[in-house]
Amino acid sequence: MYPRPATEPLHPTQTSEMTGETSYLSSALRTELWMALGEQLRSGTPLCTNRDFLDVLCEIYEEITGEVAPELVRSEIHDMVTAVNEAHPETYLAKGVQNGIARAFGEGVRRLNWDVNRIQSAGAKTMRRFRQQDSVREFLADANLQPEQISVADCVQQVIQEVAPAGVDVPPPSQPSRPAFRPDLKPQAPATAETSAASVMDADTKALVESGEVDASEVKQRAEAQEKRRSQLEDREMKKAYSAERIDAYVDQGVVDADEAVKLKELAKVEERLKKGEITEEEAGEIRNSILDGKARDKLERQVRETVADSIRYLQAFESMQKINPQYHDAIGFLIQHKNLVVAGEGANVDLSPPVKGLMEDVDLLEDILNIMERKDQELRMISVRLHPYNGIMSRGIERIGNMTIEESFVEDLEHLDSDGMSDRLNSADQMERVRPAADMRCFISLIDHVTKRTRFRKELRLLRISKQLEEF
């Protein structure tokens, strides 16, 4: 049962001094409604339409007040839902739709009797193909959502958590957070270039700002810098997108089929001839149309761009990880060496004495690990709180990774592998080479989470710190 707000909900109250509009929902009640809804979304409740939101919010209203929502209240909730989802579809609606897609995927996985390893290896490919279907794209367009706002990685991870064998630790539910904006105030005007930065402040980020974990200006500056870099990478990666090697990788990923791949290679040759001056733009247009009509070409380009966008998210994460102070690379290598012990949950039957003993014997290493725990490195702190770009590849909270594939060679990649090299790996025609970097980055984030957040391993580190302080005393 949700707590009853102090304000009686059926008494009309002024909700906005700017508009002077009268409401039967107090500001306090509106906030309670959206917070409770956020909890349901984080637990996996699928909400795909405004009607779905209306029904659930009315149910929450009844739980809070003990009364069925009267028609006046129901109408006001309807208007509130419509305004919020139209102005900020990325905040609540995207998560509700994503939950619906994840649920459908989960049902398919159960019918096919896929295990966790199969989901990890083939889930993303399956989800991408599903997301590219015209019917899905039309549905998202009707909801004012972009396909990129539906995270393939999160959907797959959500299903993994549901089907994982019993006895494996499940990450704790994320803490309730405030809405990303004032839901009691209706949007005054469409977002402008000057106000669009507010979109980076999702519910969890807003809560971090209000708790003092991060500064609002820091969030804005980082988001703007990452968006600028994303645009640069998009220009660079699209120039590579139609190489024969990349197109072969698209076939393996299920982005295009073999026939479409042949057409893409032929179209790429046309562009190359045009670039060299061998043909005119008019001649190029005629040749393009002889290969594929404009509608079919647009569809293929859209599929390629979505795939490029997925790889860019990981490219940005990798480039940002390379900003971690090299001072901590040995400590990171130590965490990777003991990865399965670091991520072990409270109930797991594991012996933590090897890493603990190793830290007790190496004072400098222990100091670096403790500094990671206290998030003294700026970039490690960004990983822990999931500011851009890390929120693009992994949700907040401690996610369970079914198979910790990361190896100590990842540290060498951070030190020596450049952005182009990582791009080639993420787009390799070899599935294992292509999948490995993304898995490594997610594993790395999980390791950092288990050091910086309330976990069994962090508890051991805190005890070691106390012991160290006693020795110094």
Give the whole-angstrom CA distance, residue 406 versus residue 399.
15
Q: What are phi and psi of 186, to 5 degrees?
A: -75, 150
Per-residue confidence (pLDDT) for residue 471, from 0 to 100: 61
Long-range contacts of 430-433 (CB under 8 A, 24+ apart): 431/121, 431/252
Could you report the per-residue pLDDT of 139-167, keeping only the tens digit for each?
Answer: 787 778 877 778 777 788 778 777 765 44
Could you tell me the pLDDT band of residue 13, with boundaries at 50, 70 and 90? very low
Q: Between these two residues, 430 and 180, which has the higher pLDDT value?
A: 430
Q: Domain segments of the chain: what residues?
A: 13-87, 235-309, 321-472
Q: Between these two residues, 131 and 443, which has the higher pLDDT value?
A: 443
Mean pLDDT for the stretch of residues 173-201: 38
Per-residue confidence (pLDDT) for residue 34, from 0 to 100: 85
Could you report the per-residue pLDDT of 355-392, keeping only the tens digit for each?
Answer: 888 898 898 999 999 999 999 999 999 999 889 899 88
The region of weakest confidence among 27-41, 81-95, 180-194 is 180-194
Give the whole-angstrom CA distance, residue 276 versus residue 284.
12
Could you report the per-residue pLDDT of 401-423, keeping only the tens digit for each?
Answer: 878 899 999 999 999 999 999 99
Q: Between these two residues, 35 and 204, which has the higher pLDDT value?
A: 35
Sequential DSSP letters for 194-224: TTGGGGG--HHHHHHHHHTSS-HHHHHHHHH
* Helix, strand, coil fractions of the chain, as percent rounded to 5: 65, 0, 30
Per-residue confidence (pLDDT) for residue 109, from 0 to 100: 81
Between the ranges 23-27, 144-148, 290-294, 299-303, where is the mean pLDDT highest?
A: 290-294
Which residue, chain included where needed, has tokens 């008494």?
11
Please, are residues 346 and 172 in contact by the beta-carbon 8 Å criterion? no
Any residues with CB less than 8 A from the CB of 466 and at least 6 apart, and which? none
Please, are residues 461 and 369 in contact by the beta-carbon 8 Å criterion? yes
Residue 177 clears pLDDT 70, i.e. is over it: no
Dihedral sign for Cα atoms in the order 209, 211, 215, 217 = positive
Tokens of 23: 């409401």
Could you tell me the pLDDT band of residue 104, with boundaries at 50, 70 and 90? confident
Could you report the per-residue pLDDT of 434-457, keeping only the tens digit for each?
Answer: 889 999 999 999 999 999 988 889
Residue 171 clears pLDDT 70, i.e. is over it: no
Q: Between these two residues, 340 and 183, which has the higher pLDDT value?
A: 340
Share of the chain above pLDDT 90, in %: 36
Mean pLDDT for the stretch of residues 43-61: 89
Mean pLDDT for the stretch of residues 304-329: 94
Mean pLDDT for the stretch of residues 94-117: 83
Q: Is the pTM of this model over 0.75?
A: no
Q: Between these two residues, 422 and 65, which has the higher pLDDT value?
A: 422
For 101, other C-beta atoms within 10 Å of its C-beta total: 23
Between the ranges 117-121, 165-169, 285-289, where is the mean pLDDT highest?
A: 285-289
Share of the chain above pLDDT 70, in %: 85
Please, are residues 330 and 368 in contact by the beta-carbon 8 Å criterion? yes
Could you tell me the pLDDT band of residue 225, with boundaries at 50, 70 and 90? very high
Could you tell me the pLDDT band of residue 23, with boundaries at 50, 70 and 90? low
Per-residue confidence (pLDDT) for residue 123, from 0 to 100: 79
Mean pLDDT for the stretch of residues 302-318: 92
Average pLDDT, the chain: 81
Dihedral sign for Cα atoms in the order 40, 41, 45, 51 = positive
Q: Between these two residues, 163 and 71, which has the higher pLDDT value?
A: 71
